[in-house]
Structure formats: structure tokens, C-alpha cells
């Protein structure tokens, strides 16, 4: 039995790349949005993801098997209100995604309006408007195959009559609603929105039409209503105006920007959002204020803790992440390049996507001892190139009359790990980095830690390591545990503060 959504008289958060992730969607719902769209997610990214129930966060996560990134995360608070927008040019892939995702989202929307080269060259986005047989085939197949509503979002054509004809053809596929952005393929946000073109579509169809593109005239909820009236629609989806200040959905008027940012950060910490995505969204809120003192602090930040400290939420961030860590969340630090089976074993049947293969077999026959720690490299911890771990290790070798360290980098899928040979031993981090340079620096940190040059306490404090789950005093650099000095517990940045993706498991 098919479910349904009433698309009439709705205030909607529009799909926005890198913005429409879980914290922003929840923020929009809190402030008065009725429905929220995800960012556009390409079909093949979803199809190579695995579904996991994240018991620590209370979320459903779809995890990219090749690098552990969270492709899509949802939670009960948005159930029945979150609409997945997909980028696709394939009937088969669209149907496969629809069937895979239909129990976790309220509806599926096909992006037929993105004007970016990436989409167009792949036959997606606005390219589908000029390939109507394919566009209709995708929508018809989805409507037939899934138990949830199907919609699409388009741009207007240069000729208004063509826009109306296109919308009628798409309506004939059985979709439940259609979003219309009032600009053409070549027009950009600085160009005026064609409200008359949206009006003509709205009056010609018998399914709900959702007006889009009016952010230039929207600063509060009342402006959204006025935009809908001018376009003869009852529903509006808002993108950039909501990106700048999501509280425009509030019936009582928008809130001060700092209040909105703080609430957004609270949700980002609560749902373990990636630091890079969080930082990007806050940058979009600050806009011209990026050159202010606060804006410059944000630009210099790399971890979630650093971002939260700017808005006096650092303690909340540390306490929440520490609680998640002790609850057993498996985050980015637990990610391995191979798919993890249900019992935690590595699935060696999963092919590596990289041409370079890991050299683990040769390592197993190497008689040199292997020293391993879960240490990641956070670039913002090092303000001077001379203090970088590789530089410090080089100076350590020179001062002690030792041969220089030799680095061997392994790659699997899209992840990297380095093994250092130094003074008759090997050193590596169990944290797989996202580029070769960071992998080498992380391995150097492990070597410095094991040789007593770096302090475990300091690495925990700056987020390069996690505290152990058992609480012990740690007065020297080689003890595990949460460090306590005079009864004060010192904890580092937990779970997701290093790489832009967090997975419940990989």
C-alpha cells in the first residue's frame, strides 16, 4: 500500500548540496518547516553504501563501504518529513535506490534542475529536461516500484510554453508533486526569478506545484507566503535564505544569527555531524562576516571542538563526544578499507577500488616489531612546519645519530596508512587517513609517542588520540586512559573531529 504526503500549504527546506544534512534539516523542522529535503545524493553513492542502525546516536546511517563516510543519516525526529533527493540518469539505478531507501524516507525526489557540469555530463539534473523520454521513464519506474510518493524538481525553460508542456508530461508519470525553480539552465541566483513562469505551471497542473527561487525577496516567514501568492502556489521550498538563517521559518520572526548558529552546533554535536560539513554550513550563515574576528577563527578551525569553542559550546562538545566514545560508538577512527561483516570480520571478497594494493602480506613476514596506536594527524595542531611530526622525527634522528626514517605508504580503496621503519622497529597508526601526506605524519606521531618524544596526554588533549574507556591516572607518555590531574579529567576531541565523515561502522 502506497503512503502519501499532502504537498499543499507547506513550508519546505529545499535540497542544497552540503547543507541539507541531518542537523540543518532538524533545525528547519524546529523552526517551523513542514518538510525537509536532503542534499542531492548521486544514485551510485547510495548503492555502494551499507545500512546500519546506530544505537549510540539513535540514527539510521548509510555508510560508504570504501571510505566510511556517512552518505545519509536520518533519525526518528524527521520521520515522515524527510524527502530524499537523488541524482540519477538511470532507470535501473533509480529503482534500486528507491527500493533500498523507501522505508527510511518519506518520499523520493528526482533532481532535474541542477545546472552544474558534473550533473549535466552525467546525464543528470537539468540534462533530463532535454531528454524527456529518459526523464519520464525514470519517474514512471519509480512510481511503479516504490511505496512512497515520487516527485521531481525542475527549472523553467527559456520559452514558458515549453515549461508548461514539460510539466504536463512529467505530471503524466504519476508523480505526487513538482518543484519549479524559476530560473533557466543558464541563469544564476543573481538573476531575477521568473515568478510568472512558475504561476503558469501552477495553474496548468492538477498536482501541487512547489515554488522555488525566491530567496532574494525572503527574510522572514511572511515573505515566503507572499512569494507563494505571487506564484499562485500554496507551497514554497526555500534554499539560500534558509541557508543564511534557518529561523526564517519561524512564525514569530527570525532569531539573531548567533542563536541560530549555537542551536545548529548543538544539533551537529548531538548527531555527530562531520566537522568539515558543520564548518561549511556555519560559513554559509556568516556570509560577509567570514572576515570578522569570529569568521577568521572559524576559518582556522579544523575540529568540532575548535568550532564549538568559538560559540562557547566547547564543554558540551567534549562531554557529548566523550559519552559517545564510552558508549561504544564506532566512528571514523574505526574505519577500515574493507567492508566489515556483521560479526566484525573483514570481508576480503570486497574488491579494493584502488589500483595500489595494501602490502599487508609482506608485512606479516617482516620480523621487525610493529608498534601501533590509533593516532590521527590534525593539521591545525601544528602552526609551524618545523613542528610537524615528520620534521620532529628527522631532528630526533639527527640528534641521536640515527638513520633517517623510511616511509612505506599503503592504499586501499580511498584510504591511506603509512608504516615507518626506524631504528630497527616499525611504527604505524591504525587510523586510515584520506591522503598520503597525512598518513605519513600520523605514523611519525606514533613513532614519536613510542619513543617518548610526544606525550600521550598532549595527543589526547589536542584530539589526535582518544582516551581509553577505563579511567586511570597517566603521568607518563605511555599509559592508557583518561588523564586526571588534581581530580580534573582531561579529554580530547572525540569521534568525528578529524576527517569529514563519521560511520557507525565501515
What average pLDDT score do residues 158-175 get?
Answer: 97
CA distance 390 to 448: 9
- 378 or 278: which leads in pLDDT: 278
Q: Would you state the pLDDT for residue 487?
A: 28
Comparing CA positions, the residue from 245, 253, 249 lying closest to residue 281 is: 245
pLDDT of residue 224 exceeding 70: yes
**70 near 49, Cβ under 8 Å?**
no
What average pLDDT score do residues 310-322 get?
Answer: 94
Q: pLDDT digit string (tens) for 405-442? A: 999 999 988 899 999 999 999 999 999 998 999 999 99
Q: Would you state the pLDDT for residue 303?
A: 87
- 128 or 476: which leads in pLDDT: 128
Q: Are strands 415-422 and 425-429 parallel, antiparallel or unpaired?
A: antiparallel
Q: Are strands 35-37 and 82-87 parallel, antiparallel or unpaired?
A: parallel
Q: Is the pTM of this model over 0.75?
A: yes
Give the ranges where 287-426 is alpha helix by DSSP (H).
293-300, 304-310, 314-327, 360-364, 389-399
- What is the distance between the terminal CA atoms of the chain, rounded to a whole angstrom? 34
**Which residues make beta-bridge pairs with 238?**
13
Give the ranges where 14-151 is alpha helix by DSSP (H).
22-31, 43-47, 91-101, 117-121, 132-145
> What confidence category does residue 144 fall into, taking pLDDT thresholds of 50, 70 and 90?
very high
Q: pLDDT digit string (tens) for 167-215? A: 999 999 999 999 999 999 999 999 999 999 999 999 999 999 999 999 9
Q: Would you state the pLDDT for residue 367?
A: 60
Q: Would you state the pLDDT for residue 11?
A: 98
Q: Would you state the pLDDT for residue 59?
A: 98
Q: Would you state the pLDDT for residue 81?
A: 98
pLDDT of residue 383 exceeding 90: no
**146 near 113, Cβ under 8 Å?**
no
**387 near 380, Cβ under 8 Å?**
no
Q: Would you state the pLDDT for residue 169?
A: 98
What average pLDDT score do residues 135-158 get?
Answer: 98
CA distance 115 to 106: 26
Counting DSSP H helices and E strands in the chain, the numbers are: 18, 18
Q: Would you state the pLDDT for residue 384?
A: 83
HSE value, Cβ hemisphere, 13 Å, CA-based, for 405: 29
> What confidence category does residue 65 fall into, taking pLDDT thresholds of 50, 70 and 90?
confident
Query: Is 152 a residue of the active site?
Result: no
Beta-carbon count within 10 A of 244 CB: 18
**49 near 67, Cβ under 8 Å?**
no
**467 near 491, Cβ under 8 Å?**
yes
Q: pLDDT digit string (tens) for 68-126? A: 889 999 999 999 999 999 999 999 999 999 999 999 999 999 999 999 999 999 999 99
Q: pLDDT digit string (tens) for 285-314? A: 999 999 999 999 999 998 899 999 999 999
Q: Would you state the pLDDT for residue 381?
A: 86
> What confidence category does residue 484 fall into, taking pLDDT thresholds of 50, 70 and 90?
very low
Helix, strand and coil content of the chain, in percent to the nearest 5, comes to 40, 20, 40
What average pLDDT score do residues 463-487 get?
Answer: 47
> What confidence category does residue 53 fall into, taking pLDDT thresholds of 50, 70 and 90?
very high
Residue 194: which residues within 8 A CB-CB, separation 6 or more? 156, 160, 182, 183, 184, 213
> What confidence category does residue 479 fall into, taking pLDDT thresholds of 50, 70 and 90?
very low
CA distance 210 to 195: 12
Instruction: Tell me the pLDDT of the chain averaged across its residues.
Output: 87
CA distance 124 to 110: 9
pLDDT of residue 355 exceeding 70: no
- 73 or 323: which leads in pLDDT: 73
The active-site residue out of 75, 114, 152, 358 is 114
Q: Would you state the pLDDT for residue 379?
A: 86
CA distance 108 to 50: 19
Helix (H, G, I), strand (E, B) or coil at 288: helix
Sheet arrangement for strand 370-373: 370-373, 425-429, 415-422, 406-412
Amino acid at each position: 500500500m502506497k503512503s502519501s504526503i499532502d504537498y499543499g500549504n507547506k513550508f519546505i527546506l529545499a535540497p542544497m548540496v552540503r547543507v541539507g544534512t541531518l542537523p540543518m534539516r532538524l533545525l528547519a523542522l524546529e523552526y517551523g518547516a513542514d518538510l525537509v529535503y536532503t542534499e542531492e545524493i548521486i544514485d551510485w553513492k547510495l548503492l555502494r553504501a551499507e545500512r546500519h542502525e546506530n544505537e549510540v546516536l539513535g540514527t539510521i546511517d548509510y555508510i560508504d563501504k570504501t571510505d566510511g563516510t556517512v552518505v545519509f543519516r536520518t533519525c526518528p525526529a524527521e520521520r515522515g518529513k524527510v524527502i530524499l533527493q537523488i541524482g540519477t540518469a538511470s532507470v535501473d539505478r533509480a529503482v534500486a535506490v528507491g527500493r533500498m531507501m523507501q522505508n527510511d524516507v518519506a518520499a523520493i525526489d528526482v533532481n532535474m534542475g541542477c545546472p552544474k557540469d558534473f550533473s549535466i555530463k552525467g546525464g543528470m539534473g537539468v540534462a533530463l529536461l532535454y531528454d524527456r523520454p529518459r526523464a519520464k521513464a525514470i519517474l514512471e519506474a519509480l512510481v511503479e516500484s516504490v511505496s512512497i510518493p515520487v516527485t521531481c524538481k525542475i527549472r523553467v525553460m527559456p520559452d514558458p510554453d515549453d515549461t508548461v508542456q514539460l510539466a504536463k508530461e512529467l505530471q503524466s508519470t504519476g508523480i505526487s508533486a513538482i518543484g519549479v525553480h524559476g530560473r533557466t539552465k543558464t541563469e544564476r541566483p543573481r538573476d531575477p526569478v521568473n515568478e510568472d513562469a512558475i504561476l503558469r505551471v501552477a495553474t496548468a497542473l492538477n498536482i501541487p506545484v512547489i515554488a522555488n527561487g525566491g530567496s532574494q525577496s525572503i527574510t522572514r516567514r511572511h515573505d515566503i507566503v507572499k512569494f507563494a501568492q505571487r506564484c499562485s502556489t500554496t507551497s514554497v521550498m526555500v534554499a539560500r535564505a534558509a541557508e543564511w538563517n534557518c529561523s526564517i521559518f519561524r512564525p514569530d520572526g527570525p532569531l539573531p544569527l548567533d542563536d541560530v548558529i549555537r542551536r545548529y552546533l548543538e544539533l551537529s554535536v548531538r548527531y555527530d555531524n562531520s566537522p568539515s560539513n558543520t564548518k561549511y554550513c556555519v560559513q554559509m550563515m556568516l556570509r560577509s562576516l567570514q572576515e570578522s574576528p569570529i569568521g577568521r577563527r572559524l576559518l582556522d578551525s579544523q575540529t568540532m571542538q575548535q568550532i564549538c569553542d568559538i560559540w562557547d559550546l566547547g564543554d558540551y562538545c567534549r562531554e557529548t563526544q566523550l559519552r559517545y566514545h564510552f558508549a561504544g560508538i564506532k566512528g571514523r577512527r574505526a574505519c577500515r578499507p574493507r567492508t566489515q561483516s556483521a560479526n566484525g570480520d573483514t570481508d576480503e571478497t570486497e574488491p579494493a577500488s584502488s589500483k595500489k594494493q595494501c602490502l599487508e602480506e609482506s608485512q606479516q613476514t617482516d620480523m621487525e616489531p610493529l608498534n601501533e596506536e590509533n593516532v590521527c594527524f590534525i593539521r591545525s595542531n601544528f602552526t609551524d612546519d618545523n613542528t610537524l611530526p615528520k620534521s620532529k622525527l628527522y631532528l630526533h634522528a639527527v640528534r641521536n645519530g640515527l638513520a633517517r626514517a623510511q616511509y612505506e605508504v599503503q592504499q586501499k580503496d580511498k584510504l591511506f596508512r603509512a608504516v615507518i621503519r626506524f631504528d630497527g622497529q616499525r611504527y604505524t597508526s591504525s587510523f586510515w587517513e584520506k591522503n598520503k601526506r597525512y598518513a605519513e605524519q600520523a605514523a611519525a606521531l606514533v613513532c614519536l609517542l613510542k619513543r617518548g618524544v610526544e606525550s600521550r596526554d598532549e595527543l589526547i588533549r589536542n584530539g589526535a588520540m582518544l582516551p581509553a574507556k577505563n579511567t586511570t591516572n597517566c603521568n607518563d607518555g605511555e599509559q592508557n586512559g583518561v588523564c586526571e590531574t588534581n581530580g580534573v579529567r582531561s579529554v580530547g576531541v572525540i569521534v568525528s573531529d578529524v576527517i569529514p565523515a563519521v560511520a557507525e561502522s565501515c
